[in-house]
Amino acid sequence: MIKVGIFGGAGYTGVELLRILAGHPAVQLMAVASRDKVSSKVSDMFPSLRRRVDLNFVAPEDDAFKNCDVVFFATPNGVAMSQAAGLLAAGVRVIDLAADFRIRDVMEWEKWYGMAHAAPELVAEAIYGLPEIHREQIRGARVLANPGCYPTAVQLGFLPLLEAGIIDCGHLIADAKSGVSGAGRKADMANLYSEVTDSFKAYGVAGHRHLPEIRQGLSRMVGGAEVGLTFVPHLAPMIRGIHATLYARLTHDINLKALQDLFEARFSGEAFVDVLPAGSHPETRSVRASNMCRIAVHRPQGGDTVVVLSVIDNLVKGAAGQAVQNMNIMFGEEEGLGLDIISVSP
């Protein structure tokens, strides 16, 4: 059994981890930390976990974490980088669901996240956990940087096109929409029901923290060449889900059937990427509460623009589910173990 601890168990990604791991046949939950909820029962805060998780919240300093095989950080940015070294010294592997280890350029990270990095030496060691690209490196990771939600949807959508070298990588557009749970479980007037419902807005147009992460990932797909990306996120009046509409200019005359074949071949055998039939329009509800990314590719009016539609659940494939997928790889388990979750509909 894999002995697991969770930091930040009171947040949205934390409870998603608990929901998934509570049903994982190879996992033993050892400790769940929340500084504000110490000694209270996890199932009192989340009644959906009654009779599944019989643990109390503990402090992050609890010794139980050093007896784990792996610890997940479902915490705000800046927490994992301050605590990872102590766990690693105790032989514990670390999976960070925040952004502390995602961006290789530490100065770039500090610019976007507004703080000094506490463990730059671990950034160099960390493996970026997008399994569809880095599966082999993930197997041996001690520190794993779980991708962000927007970066997951955008990178998977562009991946086949960039690897094939058939688009202009200098002028890519990602128009993405997210449910309000992407902002985390915190008191914020902008996220109140009466502020979000019946409304729709863009934000972060001048620059969003996920932009350097996405550009870094796309650049790796083309051997380190510079990638030009316009990324505009939007807040949609829904709780969970991401819909990314991706645009690129074709540099080769390739018809829609060949594009469809390209996507199907690239993701053949990938348990959590579903390439839909030609002409499809994936919906966020088709991936709700599941670890699936559903993709459709279009070539409108047979022109030189290719449009890719990519949908995920921001809390699952965009966070907790992908983290468990990475854990399975790291510990030699079947990659989909504990993740055979059918989407919730309606």
Contact 171, 231 (CB under 8 A): no
| Tens of pLDDT, residues 218-246 | 999 999 999 999 999 999 999 999 999 99
**pLDDT for the residue 293:** 98
* 164 φ, ψ (degrees, to nearest 5): -80, -15
Q: Residue 189: pLDDT above 80?
A: no
Q: Which residues form the catalytic set? A: 149
Q: How many CB atoms lie within 10 A of CB 271?
A: 16
Of 306, 337, 266, 5, nearest in space to 168 by CA: 306
Using CA atoms, how far apart are residues 306 and 168, in angstroms rounded to an integer?
A: 11
Predicted pLDDT of residue 187: 66
Q: pLDDT for 132-154, tens place per residue?
A: 999 999 999 999 999 999 999 99
Instruction: Write the pLDDT tens digit of every residue in 48-60.
Output: 999 999 999 999 9
Task: List Cβ neighbours of 69 (8 Å cut-off, separation of 6 or more).
Answer: 2, 3, 4, 92, 93, 331
Three-class SS of residue 229? strand
Determine the Cα–Cα distance for residues 307 and 98; give it in Å rounded to an integer. Answer: 29
CA-to-CA distance for 193 and 237, rounded, in angstroms?
9
For 258-293, give the DSSP string. Answer: HHHHHHHHHTTT-TTEEEPPTT----GGGGTTSS-E
User: What is the average pLDDT across 14-24?
Assistant: 97
- Note the pLDDT of residue 165: 97
Average model confidence (pLDDT) across the chain: 96
Q: How far from chain centre, in Å, is Cα 325?
A: 11
**pLDDT for residue 185 is more than 80:** no
Q: Which residue has the higher pLDDT, 180 or 190?
A: 180
At 52 the three-state DSSP class reads coil
Q: Three-state DSSP class for 96? A: strand
Residue 77 reports pLDDT greater than 80: yes
Locate 94 and state its tokens: 């670390």
pLDDT given for residue 326 in this prediction? 98
**Distance of alpha carbon 26 from alpha carbon 21, whole angstroms:** 9
Report pLDDT for 345. 85
Q: pLDDT at residue 186 above 90? A: no
346 upstream amide cis, omega within 30 of 0: yes
Res. 207: pLDDT tops 90: yes
